[in-house]
Amino acid sequence: MDRSRAKRILTIGSGYPIAVVVIALLTVALVPIREDTSVGTSLSLYLLGVVATTALAGRNPGLLAAVISPGVANWFIIPPYHTFRINSGENIVELIVFVSVSTIVSAFVSLAARRAKQAARAEHESRALARLAELSQFDSVDQIVELIGETFSFDRVTLVDDGETLDRDATIHDVAPGVVLATEGAALDSDDLRLLHSFIAQLGKSIEQREMRRLALEAESLSRADELRTAILRSVSHDLRTPLANIKAAVSSLRQDDVAWTEDAEDEFLASIENDTDRLTRLITNLLDLGRLEAGVLTPIPRPMSIGSIIEVVVADHGDPERLDVRVPHDLPDVRIDAALVERALDNLVGNALKYSPAGAKVTVTGRAVGDEIEICVIDNGPGIPASQHHVVIRPFHRLDDTKQAGGLGLGLAIADRLLAAVGGRLELRETPGGGLTTATMLPMAEVPT
């Protein structure tokens, strides 16, 4: 049996006995002093009993008290006793006034109690709807289901697919196509059902919005993948085929039997093959990295690490220490990163800086602590990038003015940006004083200073 129904049965079952008990107690108290108490005073006390009964038990028990009180007062309190005959006309008037006043007062007290109950219910609904409105601003399907259980005191609330097997005691409410809400516990009255329908309507909207967000993310992912494929196909004709053509030409030349190449010429062909092979390796590695990053399958493994050791590896990999001026203090705090991913990000940034710097110009690498981060700057004095174009050049296959003067797919900054984001860092592009580009790599410290 649910609580609301039990409350109604309790009211019906106990209200009328309350009326009888109140009148009986008043009568027992008044009989011993009826000779010394005026009829008006006694009737006033009975009127108080009627008001109390109405306030405690409701309108109908109050009306019962108002009806039986005159008869009880006439039998026990108004002389002659134990008879319904009234000798005094004044007493008749007092009884008529009592019945009228008690009936009116009972009605007004009942109305006030009902209005108070309605006001309390309205306040409860307002608070529940306010909480529902707050939840509706977010992806809050689970929170709305939980709020429904709290608001209506259900024993169990479950959001399930239509057609699933449910308990026999569960009440089913349609929420959205293919989705139902199963509730168990309290049965609801009409007001509760009206409020529940508001909750269910909002729950349906939240489910619909969640599905729309999922579809939008899928569409965005497909769009990015399509853009990536289109850009690869557009760029592969030049940036990938050129080194392959160079390698093919060098190998074909070396294999010619009718030409006696000098040792220097052979070394030049072999160096060309090696350089173009390295170029292809970098391009393919970057493409694979970008594909894994865009697909979200590259999982970083962060751990405390010295940034200095990573920079030493990057400098050594570029094989031209004379063009790199490294100014990174050895006592910098450790960073919490995936060393392999950060090494590849810095390798791209240093490679970009060397590629776009004037011949013979040095690229400077600096490091310092900034708050709870370590900042590694790669500074070049090349052509630079206007601040208005910074957001463009970190997109895959985009270069300033879409030129191909320096070669490459335009992946260096894009790869670095995504690799750093994957390890909890970020990339900032700044203008170098006097001309050029400064790339600032911001990495989280392993231990934040206090």
Distances in Å between the Cα of 373 and the Cα atoms of 46, 337, 378, 424 are 82, 12, 16, 11
SS3 446: coil
Q: What gap in Å lies between CA 231 and CA 397, rounded to an integer?
A: 6
Which of 188, 204, 190, 191 shows the shortest CA–CA distance to 145? 204
State the pLDDT at residue 176.
76
Identify the CA nearest to 128 among candidates 176, 184, 208, 194.
Answer: 194
Residue 215 is predicted with a pLDDT of 86
pTM score of the predicted model? 0.46
What distance in Å separates the CA atoms of residue 58 and residue 46, rounded to the nearest whole number? 17
Q: What pLDDT, on the 0 to 100 scale, is given for residue 8?
A: 45
Note the maximum CA span of the chain.
Answer: 153
Share of residues in the chain with pLDDT > 90 (%): 12
pLDDT score of 276 = 84
**Pick from 211, 185, 183, 210: nearest CA to 197:** 183
pLDDT of residue 230: 63
Q: What is the pLDDT of residue 304?
A: 92
pLDDT in tens, 215-274: 888 888 777 667 656 655 555 555 677 788 889 998 998 888 888 888 888 889 898 898
Q: What is the pLDDT of residues 338-357, one digit of tens each?
A: 888 898 889 889 988 888 88
How confident is the model over 282-311, as pLDDT tens digits? 777 766 766 676 666 677 888 999 999 999
pLDDT at 41: 84
Q: Which residue ranges in the chain fall short of pLDDT 50?
A: 1-12, 401-409
